[in-house]
């Protein structure tokens, strides 16, 4: 894993901010110094790697990932959490994932503090000697959600907006994003302003504010929506208060939106509709993976919520909830089937799957729901759009694209750190994304 002083990747399709071109990327001391239409010069002293037939693109950044394994194993100490995160890091980097923002679920505050402290310990280890995917920061997801929109999380551990509680969680120094339901009026708005004043990023999700309430939250600093259409996301087609949460999130260009692109949480036709409405430059593709490695085969329980991975490993659903007295209330199959499907418990994919799924639905003509038909994009365009949603937008929203938060990543361009994936990609209904080489800060970890 020793990085060469100078490296040239040549002969590939380079995914640049201006589009996909046939060219090369030159790396020195972990940074990109050139990306464009040039060939390696003889006698230049660089290691030259021919990647003909492959795409050279920014490393994938998962802005919303969980690790239910740490909870199943009842890991408690920060050191043990850091050890587990090392396992995740070494595994995900092979899939082309160069950065992650793990989310915290609704849980007892001392357990969340231990997990965040473990993230901080892992970051110290990683900075001393990268071993794989970088942990870029944390998303505090579950603590300030609306209990009525709890999804697969436990409402017993959800709190109204509270600065003292937030300060406890911020003490780790690793938090980058904080999710706050906007519908609690001035309490929510004041906490959103406080989050932004700390130089952090305020999000909304697992909530159901009116469109006007979400707009006020955006005006006070909320800049992105957590897994739009899931959580569940409040919706209203009535005219009162300008509609519901979904309607405001789609209309407001100041807010970017996450989409879980496992093609289970959100149907591919709806994903295309949202991309068409928001533009790829305002869409963050995420995995919301519950088990990035070591998924359980049987029923499991996390924070009083029971779940099960389906037999074909397509999704995870909630099967029951444990009350305060320890009794389990099972969720039976309904006698009459309706469109209200079982509550999903995170996803069973990683970002390599997300990228492939995006290429799949972008490279074919697809019927829409709110839009009659979406055209098929040529493969280069589909790959470029997928890269924007899997790398560029997460980097921009987090502050990494301009280097204001951590390392400067998210593009194949001069001055950016060389977090790169060399991958073979095919399009159509059987689209594939196959990482061949992965670099983090110019250091090779796969291939």
Per-residue pLDDT tens over the stretch 242-256: 999 999 999 999 999
- What is the rounded distance in angstroms from the CA atom of residue 237 to the CA atom of residue 239? 7
- What is the rounded distance in angstroms from the CA atom of residue 172 to the CA atom of residue 109? 13
Q: What is the mean pLDDT of residues 93-102?
A: 98
Q: Provide the strand spans (E) within 268-406.
A: 283-286, 300-302, 305-309, 316-322, 328-330, 366-367, 373-374
pLDDT of residue 58: 98
Comparison of pLDDT for 78 and 340, the residue scoring more: 78
Which has the closest alpha carbon to 131: 174, 92, 79? 92
Q: What is the mean pLDDT of residues 162-187?
A: 98
Share of the chain above pLDDT 70, in %: 98
pLDDT category of residue 296 using cuts at 50, 70 and 90: very high
pLDDT category of residue 312 using cuts at 50, 70 and 90: confident
Q: What is the mean pLDDT of residues 177-188?
A: 98
CA distance readout (Å), 444 to 2, 93, 99, 236, 246: 7, 10, 15, 49, 41
CB 272 within 8 A of CB 360: no
Q: Which residues pair with 56 in a beta bridge?
A: 14, 422
pLDDT category of residue 4 using cuts at 50, 70 and 90: low
Q: Where are the domains of the chain?
A: 6-58+412-446, 60-292+345-398
Comparison of pLDDT for 378 and 42, the residue scoring more: 378
Q: Provide the strand spans (E) within 17-54.
A: 19-28, 31-36, 47-50
- What is the rounded distance in angstroms from the CA atom of residue 118 to the CA atom of residue 141? 17
Among the residue ranges 17-31, 118-132, 253-267, 297-311, the one predicted with the least confidence is 297-311
Q: What is the mean pLDDT of residues 269-297?
A: 96
The DSSP secondary-structure symbol of 198 reads: T
CB 318 within 8 A of CB 329: no
CA distance readout (Å), 29 to 5, 20, 24, 418: 6, 25, 17, 9
pLDDT of residue 156: 94
Given the candidates 2.30.40.10, 3.90.550.10, 3.40.50.150, 2.130.10.10, the CATH classification of the domain at 6-58+412-446 is 2.30.40.10
* 325 has a pLDDT exceeding 90: no
Share of the chain above pLDDT 90, in %: 89
CA distance readout (Å), 30 to 155, 192, 305, 403, 439: 44, 36, 44, 15, 9
pLDDT of residue 1: 42
pLDDT of residue 95: 98
Residue 156, exposed/middle/buried by CB under 10 A (0-12, 13-18, 19+)? middle
Among the residue ranges 203-207, 228-232, 360-364, the one predicted with the least confidence is 228-232
SS3 category, 435: strand
SS3 category, 390: helix
Describe the crossing of helices 78-92 and 109-128 by its angle, rounded to 10 degrees.
60
CATH number of 60-292+345-398: 3.20.20.140
Mean pLDDT (the chain, rounded): 95
Residue 53, exposed/middle/buried by CB under 10 A (0-12, 13-18, 19+)? exposed
CB 416 within 8 A of CB 63: no
- What is the rounded distance in angstroms from the CA atom of residue 170 to the CA atom of residue 161? 14
Q: What is the mean pLDDT of residues 49-71?
A: 96
CB 323 within 8 A of CB 98: no
Domain 60-292+345-398 in the same topology as domain 6-58+412-446: no
CA distance readout (Å), 87 to 75, 104, 134: 14, 18, 12
- What is the rounded distance in angstroms from the CA atom of residue 292 to the CA atom of residue 294? 7
SS3 category, 3: coil
φ and ψ at residue 23, rounded to 5 degrees: -175, -150
Go through 18-48 and write b for each residue having 16 or more CB atoms within 10 A of its CB, e for each that does not. eebbebbbbbbebbbeebeeeebeeeeebeb
* 343 has a pLDDT exceeding 90: no
Q: What is the mean pLDDT of residues 353-372?
A: 96
* 2 has a pLDDT exceeding 50: no
pLDDT category of residue 43 using cuts at 50, 70 and 90: low
- Cβ within 8 Å of residue 97, ≥6 positions away: 59, 60, 61, 62, 133, 350, 351, 352
pLDDT of residue 341: 66
SS3 category, 160: coil
Predicted TM-score of the model (pTM): 0.96
Q: Is the peptide bond before 14 cis (omega within 30 degrees of 0)?
A: no
Which has the closest alpha carbon to 104: 60, 54, 148, 65? 65
Cα torsion angle, 368, 215, 210, 320, sign: positive
């Amino acid at each position: 894993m020793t990085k060469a002083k100078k490296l040239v990747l040549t002969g590939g399709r380079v995914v640049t901010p201006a589009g996909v071109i046939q060219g090369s990327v030159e790396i020195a001391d972990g940074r990109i110094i050139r990306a464009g239409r040039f060939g390696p010069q003889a006698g230049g002293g660089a290691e030259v790697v021919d990647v003909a037939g492959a795409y050279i693109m920014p490393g994938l950044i998962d802005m919303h990932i969980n690790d239910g394994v740490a909870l199943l194993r009842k890991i408690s100490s920060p050191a043990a959490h850091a050890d587990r995160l090392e396992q995740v890091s070494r595994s995900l980097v092979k899939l082309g994932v160069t950065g992650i923002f793990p989310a915290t679920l609704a849980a007892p505050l001392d357990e969340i503090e231990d997990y965040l402290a473990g993230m901080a310990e892992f970051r110290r280890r990683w900075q001393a000697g990268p071993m794989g995917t970088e942990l870029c920061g944390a998303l505090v997801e579950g603590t300030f959600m609306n209990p009525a929109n709890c999804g697969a999380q436990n409402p017993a551990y959800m709190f109204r907006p509270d600065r003292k509680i937030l300060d406890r969680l911020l003490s780790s120094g690793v938090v980058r994003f904080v999710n706050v339901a906007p519908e609690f009026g001035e309490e929510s708005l004041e906490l959103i302003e406080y989050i932004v004043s700390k130089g952090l990023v305020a999000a909304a999700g697992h909530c159901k504010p009116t469109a006007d309430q979400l707009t006020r939250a955006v005006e006070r600093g909320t800049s992105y929506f957590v897994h739009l259409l899931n959580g569940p996301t409040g919706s209203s087609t009535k005219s009162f208060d300008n509609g519901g949460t979904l309607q405001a999130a789609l209309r407001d260009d100041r807010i970017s939106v996450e989409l879980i692109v496992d093609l289970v949480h959100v149907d591919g036709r709806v994903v295309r509709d949202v991309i068409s409405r928001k533009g790829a430059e305002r869409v963050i593709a995420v995995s919301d993976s519950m088990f990035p490695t070591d998924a359980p085969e049987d029923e499991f329980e996390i924070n009083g919520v029971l779940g099960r991975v389906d037999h074909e490993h397509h999704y995870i659903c909630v099967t029951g909830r444990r009350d305060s007295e320890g009794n389990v209330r099972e969720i039976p199959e309904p006698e009459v089937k309706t469109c209200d499907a079982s509550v999903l418990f995170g996803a069973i994919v990683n970002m390599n799957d997300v990228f492939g799924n995006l290429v799949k639905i972008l490279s074919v003509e697809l019927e829409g729901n709110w839009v009659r038909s979406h055209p098929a994009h040529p493969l280069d365009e589909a790959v470029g759009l997928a890269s924007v949603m899997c790398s560029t937008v997460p980097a921009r929203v987090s502050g990494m694209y301009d280097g204001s938060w951590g390392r400067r990543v998210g593009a194949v361009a001069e001055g950016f750190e060389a977090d790169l994936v060399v991958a073979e990609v095919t399009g159509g209904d059987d689209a594939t994304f196959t990482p061949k080489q992965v670099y983090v800060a110019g250091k090779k970890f796969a291939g």
